[in-house]
Structures are given as C-alpha cells and as structure tokens.
Amino acid sequence: MSLGVYDWMGRLKARDEDAEQVVLAFEDVYEEGDMIKLRVPRTEAHYVVRMDDTMDEALVYMTKNELDFEIPFEERKKSYNPKSFTGKRHYLTCRPAEDYEIYGYRNLAKNGMDQHGDRGCYPHASANVETRGESVFAARNAIDGVVANRSHGSWPYESWGINKRQDAQMLLEFGRPVDFDQIVLWTRADFPHDNWWVEAELSFSDGTREIVKMEKSRKPHRFQIKRKNITWIRLGNLVQSDDPSPFPALTQIEVYGREPRL
C-alpha cells in the first residue's frame, strides 16, 4: 500500500509505502491542484483510510487499485471542516480493515472521503441533481457522517440539495452485496427556510421497493427495513409537504447492517 502527495504537474511531494500500514506525515502546505494518491495491492477488499487528521477514518471497499483524492480549495472546501487540509503538518494513514471492523454491525453507508463522480471506492453517493452544482449541496454530503441539520450551507450543515426538482433521485452504491435491517433518514430542518418530505420511495437492487412516511422533525426518521444481498439503494419519488418553502433537503442517510460472510 502507498499514500503520496503530488502537485498539479504530478511531481511527488511526499510518499510512504508499507505492506501492513501506511503512515504518511506530510510537513508542508497543500497548494491548489495537489492530489493525494492511494494505491492498494488488492481489489474487492476493505481498507481503513484517513485522508486528513481532522476527518474520521473511512472504512471503504476498493474495486480499483488506485484512488486519486483532489485536495479541495475555494468553493469545494466549503463542504469540509474548515480546519481540514490546512497548516503545515498532515497525518494520513491506510491499512487493511480487520475482520471485526468488516463484519461488525455498522452504518454501511458512511464514507467521509467519497468524491463527486468517483467510482472504485465505496460506498458512493450520486444524484440526478445537486443544487446549482455547489459542493455544499452534493450527494456525497449525505454519507459523510455529519448529521447537523438545523441550518444549511457550509460544514457542518452540508446536505444533498435538490434545486426544487420534483423528480430528484439519489443513488447510494455499496460496490458489493450487503445485508441491512434499518435505514435512517436525517432530513434537513432549517425551519422556516426548509420544507420537508412527507413521503419517499426507497428502491433496491433486488427489484423491491418501500414507501416511507416522514414528518416535520429535526430528529432522525428510522425505518425497520430488512434486505439481503443489496448492491444499491435509490431514494426517489419525494413528496413535499404543503409548506410554502421550496427547499427540502437530505442531511444524511444511514444504512445499518452487516457484511455477508463468504
């Protein structure tokens, strides 16, 4: 495994490699165009990765040997902790996940290092609309593990925004089959700015569907929904309340379950 920091021309700034655990201490400032490159020896495998010391470790499933993570600046930085990727000392790590981490009961949807348009590192969120294309309303925000929902905009209030689209849909991909028994939706609750959804449809890769009901609330909406061998979930057919606000949004989706043992 290896972690490396490269500039916009592909020139190496710092790199560490190890078969058991990579620990990279990068002692310099990030500049626009810098990229963190992760290389792993095995695909179809789980890894625990830390892209920045201000971010949680991410338990991810890699279907590619390589992942390029672009350091966010300017508008793209607004959906991250403002302390992230700043200063002259940075701590990055990667290791294979342990069995107890892989097979324990957990939120299978969480991935704080998910990127817009990324494929090969899962879980991954995408959507057919993201308000004005702004990072603070990107689909990836709904799986980053941050559930602050009493405002909107920059971190920690980033969310998936639908730009008033009636046909908005979000796709959550796991990259492999998973089993779960509970889905949790944190709808954004910046009232009176926000509207809310009274109904939504969850469709699954096995062809089944569930209609869920919601209400005006800052608390999470918990649904006992059990499925096995699911590779993706789609959230759609979102029905707004009759409140005059045109701005419903999703702060977080959580999917609780276990990794099937082979």
Whole-number Å distance between alpha carbons of 234 and 170: 6
In the chain, domain spans: 2-103, 106-258
Q: How far apart are the first and last CA of the chain?
A: 24
Residue showing tokens 């999703």:
250
Q: What is the pLDDT of residue 36?
A: 98
Q: Which residues pair with 239 in a beta bridge?
A: 199
Contact 132, 75 (CB under 8 A): no
Whole-number Å distance between alpha carbons of 193 and 195: 7
pLDDT per residue over 216-239, tens digit each? 999 999 999 999 999 999 999 999
pLDDT per residue over 98-121, tens digit each? 999 999 999 999 999 999 887 899
CATH of 106-258, picked from 3.40.50.920, 2.60.120.260, 3.40.50.150, 3.50.50.100, is 2.60.120.260
Q: What is the pLDDT of residue 200?
A: 98
138 confidence band (pLDDT: 50, 70, 90):
very high
Whole-number Å distance between alpha carbons of 89 and 107: 30
Whole-number Å distance between alpha carbons of 51 and 22: 12
